[in-house]
């Protein structure tokens, strides 16, 4: 087998038996999930089930107490010691893996002291070390792609929520990530602004980006996901192709959850 074939078979995300405690509370209770290259996985589940926490573990914004996570074959957050135990990795190594993972937050988290363009070029210049001219050229293309070329010089507080979130997506894409994580990217938006952000996410999926998406937008899950994963009480209770899962959920708890969501919609 050639090295290339080898690497194309390595899953983009491999989480194995991940356990996470906040103080005495175990919020992730043995989560295992594999995400293939180019796959779009949508995670759904009731509030407090651990979706956000799991997503944050994938780029080590949260520490885990047990289990292992690799991104494209590389351990994130921990390295394996000679004795086989896991030890928290150096900041440099963690940052190195994080730089390959884009994350989009519910509350956008744009840098308010920088314009849209400055938000997008910041990390490429200071983390990847590319020139300002090149970073700006790419940033303008990305802003164009999310439909905000005309807002390049606007500060975040002059942008609508939907526009801010699209800048945040452009900012993440500027790092040319292998993987994009979305944590309820549309939940903080007014209903009329949700569509413009979902459209950008859908376009990304069609271009073959590997994505793990936490959302309450069942329509998006149905249309875009390759696989839907249902979490409840810190565990994955069910997963499958969206059409099958929505039509015929196997677990009682999934049925209850989907029923609640339908009633809300």
Partner 1 sequence: MPIVSAFIGILAQGTQFQWDIVWKFLFDSSILQGAIITIVLAIISQFTGSVIGLLIYLIRRTPLRPAAEAYIWFFRGTPLLVQLLFLTNIFPLLNLARPLNSSTIFTDLGFQYMPLSFFLGAFLAFAFNEGAYMAEIMRAGIDSIDPGQMEAAKSLGMSYGLAMRRIVLPQAARVIIPPLGNEFNSMLKTTSLAGYFGVLELYGAGFNIGNSLFKPLELAIDLSIWYLLMTTLWGFVQSYLERRFNASTLDGTKGTRFIDRVLGRGTPATESAAEAIMTGGRR
Ligand X SMILES: Nc1ncnc2c1ncn2[C@@H]1O[C@H](COP(=O)(O)OP(=O)(O)OP(=O)(O)O)[C@@H](O)[C@H]1O
47 binds ligand X (CB under 6 A): yes
Token pair 């390049």: residue: 152
The region of 88-96, 131-139, 143-151, 236-244 touching partner 1 under the rule CB under 8 A is 88-96
Cβ neighbours, 10 Å, residue 5: 8
Residue 249 contacts which entry, partner 1, Mg ion, ligand X, none (Cβ below 5-8 A, type-dependent)? none
Asked if 163 interacts with ligand X (CB under 6 A), we say: no
171 binds partner 1 (CB under 8 A): yes
Binding segment (CB under 6 A) for ligand X, from list 51-59, 84-92, 111-119, 124-132: 51-59
Piece of the chain touching partner 1 by CB under 8 A; list 20-28, 32-40, 118-126, 232-240:
118-126
Cross-strand partners of 85: none
Residue 101 contacts residue 179 (beta carbons within 8 Å): yes
| Interface with Mg ion in residues 33-52 (CB under 5 A) | 52
Q: Tokens 């526009």 sit at which residue?
A: 163
CB of 196 to Mg ion, least distance (A): 22
Nearest residue to 103 via CA among 59, 144, 68: 59
Tell the smallest beta-carbon distance from residue 200 to ligand X (Å). 21
Residues that bind partner 1 (CB under 8 A): 59, 61, 91-92, 95-96, 98-103, 105, 107, 109-113, 122-123, 126-128, 155, 157-158, 168, 171-172, 175
Residues that bind ligand X (CB under 6 A): 22, 27, 45, 47-53
Residues that bind Mg ion (CB under 5 A): 52
């Amino acid at each position: 087998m050639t090295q290339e074939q080898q690497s194309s078979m390595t899953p983009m995300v491999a989480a194995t038996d991940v356990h996470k405690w906040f103080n005495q509370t175990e919020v992730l209770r043995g989560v295992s999930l594999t995400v293939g290259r180019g796959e779009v996985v949508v995670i759904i589940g009731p509030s407090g089930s651990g979706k956000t926490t799991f997503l944050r573990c994938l780029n080590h914004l949260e520490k885990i107490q047990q289990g292992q996570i690799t991104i494209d074959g590389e351990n994130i957050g921990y390295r394996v010691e000679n004795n086989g135990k896991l030890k928290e990795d150096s900041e440099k190594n963690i940052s190195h893996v994080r730089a390959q993972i884009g994350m989009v937050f519910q509350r956008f988290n744009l840098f308010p002291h920088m314009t849209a363009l400055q938000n997008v070029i910041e990390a490429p210049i200071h983390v990847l070390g590319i020139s300002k001219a090149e970073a700006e050229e790419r940033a303008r293309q990305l802003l164009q792609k999310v439909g905000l070329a005309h807002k390049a010089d606007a500060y975040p507080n002059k942008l609508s929520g939907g526009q801010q979130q699209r800048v945040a997506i452009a900012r993440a894409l500027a790092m040319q990530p292998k993987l994009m994580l979305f944590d309820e990217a549309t939940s903080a938006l007014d209903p009329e602004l949700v569509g413009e952000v979902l459209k950008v996410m859908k376009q990304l999926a069609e271009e073959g980006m590997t994505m793990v998406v936490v959302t309450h937008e069942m329509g998006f899950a149905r249309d875009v996901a390759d696989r839907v994963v249902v979490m409840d009480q810190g565990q994955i209770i069910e997963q499958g192709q969206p059409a099958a899962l929505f039509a015929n959920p196997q677990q009682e708890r999934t049925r209850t959850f989907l029923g609640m969501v339908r009633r809300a919609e």
